Structure 1
Amino acid sequence: MKKHIPNAITLLNLLSGLIALVYAFDDNLQMAFFWVCLGIFFDFWDGFAARILKVTSPLGVQLDSLADMVTSGVVPGVVMYQMLSHIQQNDETYLVTNETFYMKLVPFIGFIITLGACMRLAKFNIDTRQTDSFIGLPTPANALFVLSIPLILSTTANETLINLLSNPYILVVISFFSALIMNAELPLFSLKIKSDQLSKNKTALLFLLLCVVLLIIFQFVAIPVIIAIYILISLILSKTKVSL
């Protein structure tokens, strides 16, 4: 019976991603963010449960990536598509001057994120270097970054930030950047709990504590900052040869 527990947790990740997808298509990006967060929560614990119960299996590895593909790959692509679509619909000047077939294709650039996530997850399954750490930004981290953008826009009063994140060119750059950084040869420490020993998880736990503090202080704006800090700390640890 216990061998099915980790896979059940993984399937809860997939279910959360499917619900998030429905909300994303319905243009309720706040609820999509909530369900993606819940899916990432399940993704955080499925591997830990497998190790604790000593029931790790190749099936679990494949199932984990398939669930992540929906929750952290398809959903952020749809969210970016929705954001780019709204910019076109709400900008009358844009509609008058750019009503061409080519420009109508711009929102589909958001799915570059999904393609990049697919490549990353496929490589992750066959890359033996990523058993204890990551090479490239993990798809859940990138998903949180992308889904935080509409939430920042809906909660901030900073005009500069609003203009920046509402710019279609910036969103297109973010789409390509997401696909690139997920597949970059960039060593990053793992945020997953590797064992029940506190000493082996100190980097991840300290970073998660920092995340909580930043989220309390800065709310959704903290998410891109957290991603940047995560990359920076990983680079420092890698350059100083400290174990990730």
Structure 2
Amino acid sequence: MKLKAQIPNLFTMLNLFSGCIALVFVANSKFEMAFFFVCLGIFFDFFDGFFARKFNVAGPLGVQLDSLADMVTSGVVPGFVMYQLMLNTDVFGPESYWPYLGFVITLGACYRLAKFNIDTRQSDSFIGLPTPANALFFSSLPLINSAFYDDDFSDVIYNKWFLLVLTLLSAYVMNAEIPLFSLKIKDFSFAKYKLQIFFLAISALMLIFLQVLAVPLIIILYVLLSVGNNVVNKKASV
């Protein structure tokens, strides 16, 4: 087997390894490092597909490995983060079974990844929120509370109903029939990619001025812009 055919799989394994390390940090409530390794795993996840296309070595083995690695980094990790957040609520606490509902995020991610593997409509864009974006959203929540801590903000982050609604909403949005615009810009046509360029520019500004707080806001903005774009396109086609 040619060495270059294994390069994408190597990046997939690095994604999985990053996810495993992130889990260890989540278990020890070291959310900053967990977030870093989730980001690193998503970075490797991007490049496994990039090299598979570049070397023209994409195949069924790579597809399965990619989903299995994503299941850890973008499925188990965000569910575990939510479990830990629920443990820290005054209402639930360590003796409650409610925190286990955080793993509904993991179940939603598993179903999403299985659907993605057999859905031919998602080759260039997405239907439902991708699991890496969902993982970034949830792994950033503890960091936001640490960076912008005040009593009111902490009361929101550690509110049991807020966490439960986020959990259920996450599982739904990942699997909902909501087309999300592609972020792949294949040429420099502003007219063709104005929505993508606008989104990327706003995201960059938000990261500069809001730092970690920008992460979940960017994910929300992506979904809202996609929904708005879908409505505009639907009206235009009538």
TM-score (norm 2): 0.88
The Cα shift of 1:236 comes to 2.9
Is this contact kept in 1: 2:23–2:34, CA < 8 A?
A: yes
Q: Identify the match of residue 220 of structure 2 among 223, 228, 243.
A: 228
Residues 54/230 of structure 1: CA separation in 2 closer, same or farther (3 Å cut) = same
What is the match of residue 105 of structure 1? 97
1:90-239 superposed matches below 5 A: 91=90, 94=91, 104-191=96-183, 193=184, 197-198=187-188, 202=193, 207-239=199-231
Q: Provide the TM-score with structure 1 as the length reference.
A: 0.86
Task: State the alpha-carbon separation in 2 of the partners of residues 66 and 77 from structure 1.
Answer: 16
Amino acid paired to 1:127: D
Structure 2 partner of 1:73: 75
C-alpha distance in 2 between matches for 1:178 and 1:141: 11
Question: Any stretches of 5+ residues in structure 1 without a counterpart?
Answer: none
The answer to whether the 8 Å contact 1:48/1:194 transfers is: no
Identity %: 54
1:12 equivalent among 5, 11, 14: 14
Whole-angstrom distance in 2 between the partners of 1:169 and 1:64: 33
Distance of 2:219 and 2:104 partners within structure 1? 19
Change (3 A) 1:12 1:198: farther
Aligned length: 230
Deviation sequence 1:144-195 (CA, Å, 0-9, x none)? 111111011101045433221111111111111111110111101234x576
Say which of 17, 20, 30 aligns to 2:32. 30
- Identify the range of structure 1 (212-221 vs 153-162) with the bigger mean alpha-carbon deviation: 153-162
Alpha-carbon RMSD? 2.3
Task: Check the 8 A contact 2:180/2:227 in 1, yes or no.
Answer: yes
Which of the numbers 56, 59, 62 marks the counterpart of 2:58? 56
**5+ long unaligned stretches in structure 2:** none
Give the 3-state SS of the residue equivalent to 2:58 in structure 1.
Answer: coil
Q: Is the 8 A contact 1:84 1:106 kept in 2?
A: yes
In 1, Cα distance between the equivalents of 2:122 and 2:164? 29
Matching residue's letter, 1:74: V
